Amino acid sequence: MDSYNTKTKKKLKKNKSKNKLHKIRSKYILKIIFDHLPQKNYLGVINYNKETQKRLKVNIKDYKYYSEKFTPIEIEIKPVQDKFGKFINIENNSDEKFYHIYFNNSKEEIKRYCINKEDKAKSIKIIIDYQVNSLYKLFFNCTCIKSIDFKKFYRINIINMSKMFSRCSSLNEINFYKFNSINVNDMSDMFSGCSSLLAINLSKFNTKNVKNMGDMFYGCRTLEKLNLSNFNTDKVTKMNYMFYDCSSLKELNISNFNFKNVINMNFMFSGCLDELKIRIKAQIKNMEEEAF
């Protein structure tokens, strides 16, 4: 009996070790797939082809877990050619190792966060590791940025985007095609002071957990149209100064806004065009007068 138990324990231990090895291999293969191959096509084949999964020893569920937790965020920015200075803010020097910066598609990493006159950077690639869970003031007051493009953003651990693009006065284009904001709770001042922003598509935004939208578009003076019909504002408590001084705004869709939990909407539309205010008042009855 003792011999039987010993053999059983060894077998279980061996199987456990094998399963652990399989899981490591599975994650490793999925990392290669995720980082280097065209995900949609290749993962589609793996997902629906059980033989391929068996051959590669890949559990497709691991891919989703990996992508949501550990994949880096990839951002490409283009600077204004005749402006110099910082193009990203990294608050804590100890976190520098989690930010990787490359000029002009070079494989050589740059260990600084500003553009000098001698630089010939037409594009800057920024890779942010999974240890970073807040993008607070990421590009705050970075006046040398012309455009920002989110190339890869599968992660769900980002919780703060307050002042993310605030005071980017030269910024005129942001591409949010690949973007994830599902667990973000603070978007206050996110675009405040983006006085050159011509248009912005926020259809990829998930705002179901956002509580603060105060000053979100404060001073976006060149914006003419803004469609926020996809915004979920069920948890939002602050909308004060949200569209303050958006003096060129002619079209604003906030038809699905829920104001039930909002406790502060002071000066929400102050400084906007009179005709826009009239349309907003007609669109949303019982709007507090302090908002205008």
Residue with tokens 């061996």: 14
Tokens of 200: 């912005």
Domain of 64? 2-68
Residue 169 lies in a domain: no
Residue 36 lies in a domain: yes
Give the chain's residues under pLDDT 70. 1-46, 48, 91-95, 286
Contact between 249 and 223 (Cβ < 8 Å): yes
3-state secondary structure of 145: strand
Q: What pLDDT does 53 receive?
A: 73
Residue 18 lies in a domain: yes
Cα atoms found within 13 Å of the Cα of residue 164, Cβ hemisphere only: 20
Residue 114 lies in a domain: no
Give, for 19, the enclosing helix (H) or strand (E): helix 2-36
Task: Give the number of other Cβ atoms within 10 Å of residue 105's Cβ.
Answer: 10
Residue 258 lies in a domain: no
Residue 17 lies in a domain: yes
Query: What is the reported pTM?
Result: 0.81
Residue 85 lies in a domain: no
Distance between CA atoms of residues 36 and 20, nearest Å: 24
Residue 49 lies in a domain: yes
Give, for 226, the enclosing helix (H) or strand (E): strand 225-227
The number of distinct structural domains making up the chain is 1
